[in-house]
Amino acid sequence: MGIEVAVEGLTKSFGAQTIWRDVSLTLPAGEVTVLLGPSGTGKTVFLKSLIGLIKPEEGTVRVDGVDMVNDPDRRVFRERKRFGLMFQDGAMFGSLNLYDNIAFPLREHTRKTEAEIRRIVLEKMDTVGLAGEEKKVPGQISGGMRKRAGLARALVMDPEVILCDEPDSGLDPVRTAHLSQLLIDVNARIDATMLIVTHNIEIASTVPDNIGMLYRRDLVAFGPRETVIASDDPVIAQFLRGSPEGPIGMSEEKDAALLAEEAARAANRPRPPSRPIEIPAQLRPSPGEPERSGELRHAARVDAMLPNLPPEAVSAILRGRAATAEAAAAAAAARSAPAAAAPPRAAHSTAPAPPPLPPEFKSPGENP
C-alpha cells in the first residue's frame, strides 16, 4: 500500500530566483497524480524536493512522520528508500548493461545476495516488457526501452511512492499509450502512490486521479482530475487545450500588452458556441490486473466536492464517470470473453459496479 505525501507551505529559490512559493498539496495514498506546468516552472525541482535531494527554504514534506526537508540527513536518507524515481533523462549508466543498471539500487542500498537480486531484476524487467534484453547497454536500445528500463529500476526497491519525471518525453504516441497503460497497471498491482510530471495532455486527462499545475511560481491548480479538467481558469484551460491563446506565452508568461492585444482581437471575433466540458474516461488496468484500490477512495472524495461545484462541472463529472464505467464494462466483457458470441447486454451485466453516485446528483437521462 502506498503512503501519503503531505506538502505544506513549500518555497524554493535559487539565489534571487524564486522557483515556486507556498506550495501545499497532498498526494493521497495509492492514488496517481499528474503535475503539469510550462517548461522551467520547477517541476523537476519539486520532485527532487520531495525526496530531500533539493532543500527548499521553507515548508515541510511529511512522509510517514519524517520531514524530508528539515529532518537530519540520516532519517531522510532512510526514508528515501521508500521512493522510486524515474528520471527525466533516463539517467542510465552508459557503460553498464540493462541488468546491472536495474540491479544498481539493490547493490547500493541493500545487503541482498546476487541470487535474490537476480530474481528481483528479472521480475521487474518482465513487468516492463524487457525480458531477454538484460545484456544490452543503453546505447543499443530505443528511447522507449530506455524509459521502461528506468521504470524497472524505479521499481526494484518495492517503492511505496513512485515519482516519474516526463516518462513520455521523446516517445511516439503508440509507445506513450503503452507507457500510460503500464503506469496504471503498476499502480493496480502494487498500489503505490504515484506522481507523474508530464507535458502530455492525453496522459494528464486519462491516467491520473488528481492533477496539479505549477505556473508563475504558484501551484495554480490541485485537485481531482475531473474538477481540474472542468475548471474554467484560463491558465488551466489553455494548457489542457494546448492553445497558443491565453495567458501562457512562449517564455512562460505573456506580458500585459500582448494579452490586451489578444483580448481586443478576440472581442472583435464572433464567439464560437460554448461547448460542454468533456471529461474523458480514465484508463483502466489491463485484463488480468487487479482493480485499483485507490479508485473508490478517490470517487468518495469527488462526491464530497460535488455540492460546491458549478452545475456544468457536476454534469461533466457525471458524464465522465459514466464513460469510465462503460470502459470498465467493456474491459470486463473482454475479460469474460470467449464472449464473442455472447449478446452485448449479458456482457454488460458482468461488469464491476461503477462507483456509486450520491442520489441528489442522479438526473434523468444520466446513467449512474
41 binds, among Mg ion, ligand ATP, none (CB under 5 to 8 A by kind): ligand ATP
CA pseudo-torsion sign 109, 115, 118, 124: negative
Shortest distance (Å) from residue 91 CB to Mg ion = 13
45 binds, among ligand ATP, Mg ion, none (CB under 5 to 8 A by kind): ligand ATP
Q: Which of residues 11 and 44 has its CB atom nearest to Mg ion in the complex? A: 44
Q: Which residue has the cell 457525471?
A: 318
231 binds, among ligand ATP, Mg ion, none (CB under 5 to 8 A by kind): none
Beta-bridge partner residues of 286 = none
**What would the grid cell of residue 291 be?**
482493480
**What would the grid cell of residue 301 be?**
472524495
Tell me: does residue 336 bind Mg ion (CB under 5 A): no
Tell me: does residue 44 bind Mg ion (CB under 5 A): yes
Tell me: does residue 14 bind ligand ATP (CB under 6 A): yes
* Coil, helix or strand at residue 22: strand
37 binds, among Mg ion, ligand ATP, none (CB under 5 to 8 A by kind): ligand ATP
Tell me: does residue 169 bind Mg ion (CB under 5 A): no
Q: Which of residues 200 and 206 has its CB atom nearest to ligand ATP in the complex? A: 200
H helix runs in the chain, sequence order: 43-50, 73-80, 98-109, 114-127, 143-155, 173-190, 201-206, 225-229, 234-241, 256-268, 294-305, 311-336, 344-349
The answer for residues whose C-beta is within 8 angstroms of residue 235's C-beta and 6 or more apart is 213, 215, 220, 221, 246, 247, 248
Shortest distance (Å) from residue 88 CB to Mg ion = 5
**What would the grid cell of residue 244 be?**
497558443
**What would the grid cell of residue 364 be?**
434523468
Q: Which of residues 127-186 bind ligand ATP (CB under 6 A)?
A: none
| DSSP one-letter code for 159 | -
**What would the grid cell of residue 46 be?**
519539486
Identify how many contiguous H helices and E strands the chain contains and give both numbers.
13, 10
39 binds, among ligand ATP, Mg ion, none (CB under 5 to 8 A by kind): ligand ATP
Identify the residue among 7, 10, 19, 61 touching ligand ATP (CB under 6 A).
19
Q: Which of residues 43-102 bind ligand ATP (CB under 6 A)?
A: 43-45, 88
**What would the grid cell of residue 255 be?**
506580458
Size of the residue set binding Mg ion (CB under 5 A): 1
Shortest distance (Å) from residue 14 CB to Mg ion = 14
19 binds, among ligand ATP, Mg ion, none (CB under 5 to 8 A by kind): ligand ATP
* CA 203 to the chain's CA centroid: 8
**What would the grid cell of residue 47 be?**
520532485
Q: Which of residues 21-50 bind ligand ATP (CB under 6 A)?
A: 37, 39-45
Q: Which of residues 36 and 122 has its CB atom nearest to ligand ATP in the complex? A: 36
Q: Which residues are near Mg ion by CB under 5 A?
A: 44
Binding site for ligand ATP (CB under 6 A): 14, 19, 37, 39-45, 88
